[in-house]
Structure 1
Amino acid sequence: MAEDKYNLKNPAVKRILQEVKEMQSNPSDDFMSLPLEENIFEWQFAIRGPGETEFEGGIYHGRIQLPAEYPFKPPSFMLLTPNGRFETQTKICLSISNHHPEHWQPSWSVRTALVALIAFMPTNPNGALGSLDYKKEERRALAIKSREAAPKFGNAERQKLIEEIHEYMLSKAPPVPQLSSSLSPEEHSTNEEREAQASHQNVGEAAGEGLLGPGVGDRIVDEPHEAPLNVNPISEGGSVSEQVPAGRSNEQLLHKPEAKVQRPADDRLFTWAAVGLTIAIVVLLLKKFMKANGHGAVFMDGS
């Protein structure tokens, strides 16, 4: 792409050309997007359906229109490939699109927006503008069909770029997993749980980048956090009360039996001292008694 024909003093043009270089030098297996040669504000893109969902293996083309104030204003998105989640050739309503400019951040780019769009694919549409709610079997059939050929859209320049992107995505895409109709209800339920888990993981990754804002039809609900059952609330005096063992109430703790008082070591020493003193007195008295008897015997012999 020749840069000399663009106004490099324009901040939007300068930013877009930087993103083009980054997209070409660091391609992804999950998406590809490039602008038209004659209009770098219009990009064609294709994303790969997220794994472990009914979109897995699908190649979904679309168009991005960047505003003249980019990156300070958000782009608009339009899907061109039938997919069962978004209407085709209709500007879709997401928290990363121009329908919600209050959520857009200038630090985001075409690359980060495409990552968020992939994460939005398996989420609940909730009636958002440009959203569809097809059954999983219908979406899976559309995913398989999306690989057959690139969609037809616009003039020859657009079509050429779309087909080039499609060939690139096909070279990176894994085979489409087939959905067996012979699965038992239990197996279907297990697959649905696994798909929901993968969907939440993808949404969580995009939310970590701040891309999944509270847009229409793309809401994120915080899970309630339960307080630990074994910790009492802070008392009125401002100090934290004791931890209550499981199965015991505060009232039970108020009537705890008093602990037995253990005899100190000093009491035992006192007892032994008393015994020793008693023995000493007895020995002394015995000596006096024996001495007295000895003197008496001598006196009698001398008489």
Structure 2
Amino acid sequence: MTALQRISKEMQDLADEPLGQFSVGPVGNDLFHCQATIMGPRGSPYEGGLFDLSIDFPESYPFEPPEIKFKTQVYHMNVGPYGDICLDILGKNWSPALSLSKVLLVICVLMTDPNPDDPLRFNLRDEYRKDVSTYERNARMWTQKHAM
């Protein structure tokens, strides 16, 4: 199966059985360049926000992971200032058995449960470890400002 066939199948699977937490589709007619919108998970400081992500598939997909970045600014220790996401399955722990829907679900979980052991923003990690309520209050304020 070629990369294009695999991406097309994953898009069709998402259209047939939408998961409700996010939507995803190609930019124009180019399946190698997609966009997704994640609804801020309930019970998280991101609840009520809509977060846009860019998704770029390599020609070697699914043998290499897609590049996924937040386009919406997000106050999160595992998301860099330019939208990079620190997530092991988007790098060294990628497997061709993973699909875009699984990766987006993991990103939703990361929004609810940040990983202080693998931050991109150490200052936010330190704030989280020192005072979770301050971290969550700041995340809610950023969500209101940038994602609503």
Structure 2-normalised TM-score?
Answer: 0.79
| Alignment pair present for 1:27 and 2:18 | yes
Q: Distance in 1 between matches of 2:28 and 2:117?
A: 37
| Distance of aligned partners of 1:127 and 1:50 in 2 relative to their CA distance in 1, 3 Å threshold | same
Aligned-residue sequence identity (percent) comes to 27
Equivalent position amino acid for 1:139 in 2: A
Pairing 1:215-230 to 2, within 5 Å after superposition:
none
How far does residue 31 in structure 1 lie from its aligned partner after superposition? Answer: 0.5
The residue type paired with residue 93 of structure 1 is C
Aligned-pair Cα RMSD in Å: 2.2
Which residue number corresponds to residue 151 of structure 1? none
Secondary structure of the structure 1 residue equivalent to 2:10: helix
Q: Aligned residue for 2:64?
A: 73
Query: What's the secondary structure of 1:105's corresponding residue?
Result: coil
Secondary structure class of the residue paired with 2:31: coil
Which of 1 and 2 has higher RCO (CA within 8 Å, sep 6+)?
2
Shift of 1:83: 1.5
Partner of 1:240: none
- Report the alpha carbon displacement of residue 90 of structure 1 after superposing the two structures with TM: 3.7
Contact residue 32 and residue 47 of structure 1 kept, 8 A: yes
Does residue 92 of structure 2 align to residue 106 of structure 1? no
CA spacing shift, 1:27–1:68, aligned 2, 3 Å: same
What does residue 44 of structure 2 align with?
53
Alpha-carbon separation, structure 1, partners of 2:8 and 2:142 = 34
| Mapped contact 1:80–1:88 kept (Cα < 8 A) | no
More helix by share: 1
Q: Residue 36 of structure 2 contacts residue 53 of structure 2 at CA under 8 Å; is this kept in 1?
A: yes
Would you say the 8 A contact 1:87–1:132 is kept in 2?
no
Cα 1:51–1:63 shift into 2, 3 Å: same
Q: TM-score, normalised by structure 1?
A: 0.41
Distance 2:16 2:48 in 1: 24
Deviation (angstroms), 1:128: 2.9
Rounded Cα–Cα distance in structure 1 between residues aligned with 2:9 and 2:48: 30
Identify the residue that residue 130 of structure 2 maps to in structure 1: none
Change (3 A) 1:80 1:131: farther
- Kindly provide the amino acid, as one letter, of the partner of residue 145 in structure 1: K
> For the Cα contact (< 8 Å) 1:64–1:76, is it kept in 2?
yes
Matches within 5 A, 1:53-202: 53-85=44-76, 86-97=79-90, 99-100=91-92, 103-121=93-111, 122-126=113-117, 128-129=119-120, 133=124, 135-148=135-148
CA contact (8 A) 2:72 2:147 kept: no
After TM superposition, the runs of 4+ consecutive aligned structure 1 residues lying more than 4 A away are none
Aligned twin of 1:188? none
List per-residue Cα deviations over 1:137-194 (Å, max 9, x = no partner).
111112223443xxxxxxxxxxxxxxxxxxxxxxxxxxxxxxxxxxxxxxxxxxxxxx
CA drift at 1:38:
3.7
Q: Tell me, in whole angstroms, the C-alpha distance in 2 between the residues paired with 1:81 and 1:125.
A: 21
Counterpart contact for 1:45–1:62, Cα < 8 Å: yes
Answer 1 or 2: which has greater strand percent.
Answer: 2
* Structure 2, gaps ≥5 residues long: 128-134
Distance, in Å, in 2 between the alignment partners of 1:146 and 1:41 is 27
Q: Give yes or no for contact 1:79–1:88 (8 Å, CA) kept in 2.
A: no
**SS of residue in 2 equivalent to 1:96:** helix
Aligned residue type for 1:105: S
Query: Match of 2:105, SS?
Result: helix
Structure 1 residues 41, 130: CA separation in 2 closer, same or farther (over 3 Å shift)? Answer: farther
8 A contact 1:41–1:67 mirrored in 2: yes
Q: Which deviates more, 71-80 or 137-146? A: 137-146
Aligned residues: 136
Q: Higher Cα Rg: structure 1 or 2?
A: 1
Change (3 A) 1:132 1:120: farther
